[in-house]
Structure 1
Amino acid sequence: METPSPTRARILIVEDEPKLASLLADYLQAGGYESHWVADGRDAVPAVKGQLPDLVLLDLMLPGRDGLDICRELRSFSDVPIIMLTARVEEIDRLLGLELGADDYICKPFSPREVVARVKAILRRARQPPDAGSTLLRIDESTHSAVFHGTTLELTPVEFRLLKTLAANPGRVFSRDRLLDNLYLDHRIVTDRTVDSHIKNLRRKLEQAAPAHDPIRSIYGVGYKLEIE
């Protein structure tokens, strides 16, 4: 494989079906991306650490190691965007994949064009700095301030960290456990329902600033995400 151009995003394909992996690689190349392919689940994490891809297309049913387990480990050290590819259509698998930190989930059979479109959308989102997802929301960590629809929000330190975490990856679903990891600097023991309470307070303050807008979306059984329209 040729050396990736520094201006082209690198996509890691973790897929044990050679024909499908080759098809995805062809469509990604046509879309302007570089790609690298690994077929064994045990090679996925080393590939991410060694190649630092911009996005991972991750199959769930892999030889050597399950895709959900791979996703769990990747999220322990990396925020690289992950799109799960799978033939599993059960709701529990979809929810579990998002709970572990996947950014998107596509069921087989799928259109390679759709995969490329999802890749493009997620990379565009991932490259936005935390306060640039929309001019409607601005976050300044240096001054510990947040402005929504032109109104400065009066946030507690925990609410500020919660909003900053959600805004860093707009559109990504965060589980309650993952949000808790970012809320308390002293790592105190609290229940996951504590997040619900902070979300409620944060929503109230966002609504006070812009009554017709609620950018926080609840994903039943999974967690929360931020969508600025």
Structure 2
Amino acid sequence: MSHARILIIEDEPDIARLITQALDGYGFVTEHAATGRRGLEQARRQSPDLAIVDLGLPDMDGMEVIRQLQQATPCAVLILTGRNDVMDRVLGLELGADDYLAKPFEPRELVARVRSILRRYLRSGAPDTQATPGVARFGDWRFEAGRHLLIAPDGREVGVSATEASMLQALLRNPNRILSREQLIGERDIDPYDRSVDVRISRLRRKLEDDPQNPRLIKTVYGAGYLFATTVRWD
């Protein structure tokens, strides 16, 4: 984790410098881009492990940067925003971001968020220590954990974000068992008003279900969590 590559897309020099110094102190490899287009170019040249994206960029909307990142070079994403709008945060999560942090922020909180995201990212792509296989099959679907990739019944490749991959893997490793929101996200003491888990479940349903409003695979167990209601085979 300490050598993970982090792309900082932030137009304010002082904030970019603060982020860089905080992350460099923990051994992360950082790269900075002052505009959205420059950040996308750098990501295409070498895909980062995580991108920190400011929503208020001078040349393009940060949401569009996140959308293009997830289409071209999928990676973990942390939103950095001065906007105090819940809808902006939800939209960012809908586009595939893994977390958000509001300005002004404490450098220690930034580092903690980055490390938490990368733990999910690495956990979802790493082989199990007990040699658990890395390809899950359910119905006519296939999930390749190491590539964060869903293969649809018609052969289409469906990308998922780092956190979505981690959540999906948790469900697939525990089929027909109720998992709490804390178990799904791999974090303790989630704020009861934090809807990020529910947003990501909705995204997974839209990718997996014929009718996301009446899901057959990912069931909601009210007051308890979510359940993956089918047989899963790991190859």
TM-score band, normalised by the shorter chain?
0.5 to 0.7
Identity of aligned residues (%): 34
- In structure 1, how many angstroms separate the alpha carbons of the residues matched to 2:129 and 2:85? 34
Contact 1:99 1:175 (C-alpha < 8 Å) held by counterparts: no
Partner of 1:57: 52
Amino acid at match of 2:94: E
TM-score calculated relative to the size of structure 1: 0.66
TM-fit CA distance, 1:141 = 2.7
TM-fit CA distance, 1:21 = 0.3
Q: Which runs of 5+ in 1 are unaligned?
A: 1-5, 145-154, 185-189, 205-212, 217-229
Amino acid at match of 1:99: E
- In structure 1, how many angstroms separate the alpha carbons of the residues matched to 2:54 and 2:85? 15
What is the correspondence of 1:12-161 to structure 2 with a 5 Å cutoff?
12-129=7-124, 141=135, 144=137, 156-157=139-140
TM-fit CA distance, 1:116 = 0.8
Change (3 A) 1:199 1:178: closer
SS at match of 2:72: coil
Larger radius of gyration: 1
Contact 1:21 1:37 (C-alpha < 8 Å) held by counterparts: yes
Change (3 A) 1:159 1:46: closer
- In structure 1, how many angstroms separate the alpha carbons of the residues matched to 2:135 and 2:84? 40
TM-score calculated relative to the size of structure 2: 0.64
Partner of 2:200: 174
- Size of the aligned set, in residue pairs, is 182
- In structure 2, how many angstroms separate the alpha carbons of the residues matched to 1:33 and 1:89? 28
TM-fit CA distance, 1:168 = 4.2
TM-fit CA distance, 1:176 = 3.4
- The C-alpha deviation readout for 1:89-141, integer Å capped at 9, x for no partner, is 11111111111110001111111111111111111211114586898xx6653
Q: Which runs of 5+ in 2 are unaligned?
A: 144-149, 153-163, 171-183, 186-196, 228-235
SS at match of 2:217: helix
1:198 and 2:192 are equivalent in the alignment: no
Amino acid at match of 2:28: Y
- In structure 2, how many angstroms separate the alpha carbons of the residues matched to 1:134 and 1:88? 41
Could you say what the CA RMSD is over the residues aligned between the two structures, in angstroms?
3.6
SS at match of 1:174: helix
TM-fit CA distance, 1:215 = 5.6
TM-fit CA distance, 1:41 = 1.3
- In structure 1, how many angstroms separate the alpha carbons of the residues matched to 2:126 and 2:15? 37
